[in-house]
Amino acid sequence: MPSADPTNTLWSRAGDPRPGPRPGLSLDDIAAVCVRLADGEGLRALSMRRVAEELGTGAASLYRYVSGKDDLVSLMYDRVAGEYEFEPTTGDLRADVLSVAGQARAMYRRHPWMIGVSPAGLGPNGLRYLDHMAAVLAPARLEPAATMTGIAMLSGWVTVFSGQEAAGQVVPAAGGADQIAVLLRHGDYPHLSELFARADAAAGAAVDADAIFRAGIEALLFGIAGGGTVE
């Protein structure tokens, strides 16, 4: 059972002096192997035994650093969070949020296994992300709880969107619109029929995945900022 002590995190434990031989691995060594395995073979490849083999050690030795698979996932998440390249905030709420969100979307493309898991705890890079997002949302002048809620909402949108994008559910596949149009002619769907009729009348009004992604971010920012104008 995880310790209730908030100081007893994976990263703080790794910094504690321990009796016995000097550790031959680092948490980053372990995280790098885990990410490589998951990127190449999916999460099914992730096990204490497999990771230990890739590191050239035994599973028993690996337990000196981590307590199990949950720790491995936390290490992986934090290593990937280190891929963010945060620029100084500009004060332009929309631009700064889209900069981070765009990087996060790209991470999910590079590491699709991230969509299906959640880390048990935050590491240094995860905290760096939260710190930067707090700075990004500062121009909205939110209460602390609202700031954290806003960060969670924006991060959640990127995760959900990336999952749908990976599954091909964001923009219908070729022929999808034609199939819907045929079905509409054989059923009672007045609102959807009107919507498609209006879409046909609007030449060149196709929606792409990038537009949907940005629209979701902007809608969330409108709500987070209390309905004010998002600069």
Q: What six digits make up the tokens of 86?
A: 């945060």
Do 136 and 29 share a structural domain?
no
In a domain, 69, yes or no: yes
* DSSP reduced 3-state for 85: coil
Which tens digit of pLDDT belongs to each residue from 7-64?
457 887 665 545 544 557 899 999 999 999 999 999 999 999 999 999 999 989 899 8
Q: Where are the alpha helices (H) located in the chain, listed in sequence order?
A: 10-14, 27-41, 48-55, 59-62, 69-81, 93-110, 124-137, 144-166, 176-184, 190-201, 209-224
Contacts of 129 (CB under 8 A, 6+ apart): 81, 84, 100
Q: Are 192 and 184 contacting, i.e. CB atoms less than 8 angstroms apart?
A: yes
Predicted pLDDT at 167: 87
For residues 116 and 134, membership in a common domain is answered with yes
**More confidently predicted of 35 and 193:** 35
Asked if 214 and 124 sit in the same domain, the reply is yes
C-alpha dihedral (132, 134, 136, 138), degrees to nearest 10 = -150
Q: Which domain holds residue 107?
A: 84-170+207-224
Does a structural domain hold residue 192?
Answer: no
Q: Both ends of the chain: CA-CA distance in Å?
A: 46
Confirm whether 194 is domain-assigned.
no
Q: What is residue 64's three-state secondary structure?
A: coil
Residue 39 falls inside a structural domain: yes
In a domain, 49, yes or no: yes
Rounded average pLDDT over 175-197? 75
Question: How large a percentage of the chain has pLDDT more than 90?
Answer: 59
pLDDT, residue 11, reads 83
- Which CATH number goes with the domain that contains 114? 1.10.357.10
Domain boundary among 56, 80, 104: 80
